[in-house]
Amino acid sequence: MLPWALLFQLAAQKLFWPPKVFWSATPKELDLALGLCGRITLLDRNELTTLMKQHPDDIETAG
């Protein structure tokens, strides 16, 4: 899992990115902008499945 709070803090303090810019960036763009040299990894299928089970969509409030 990505440490979103830490990445947000770094983007705000080092890059002076407002929240809108941070949340519109892809993990790859964030990795490159912060100079992390490929250290940000994406979810694998098992991690995604686990998250989907832990946080199912609420059909009544979604979309």
Model confidence over 27-57: pLDDT tens digits? 889 989 999 887 777 778 898 899 889 888 8
In this predicted structure, what is the pLDDT of residue 57? Answer: 86
Q: Contact 7/34 with Cβ under 8 angstroms?
A: yes
Task: Confirm whether 62 is domain-assigned.
Answer: no
Q: Does 11 score more than 70 pLDDT?
A: yes
Total structural domains within the chain: 1
Q: Confirm whether 11 is domain-assigned.
A: yes
pLDDT band (50, 70, 90) for residue 3: confident
For 34, the domain range is 4-54
Binned at pLDDT 50, 70 and 90, residue 1 comes out as low
Residue 59 lies in a domain: no
The answer to whether residue 63 is domain-embedded is no
Q: Is residue 17 situated within a structural domain?
A: yes
**Contact predicate 14/34, CB 8 Å:** yes
In a domain, 48, yes or no: yes
Q: Is residue 49 part of a domain?
A: yes
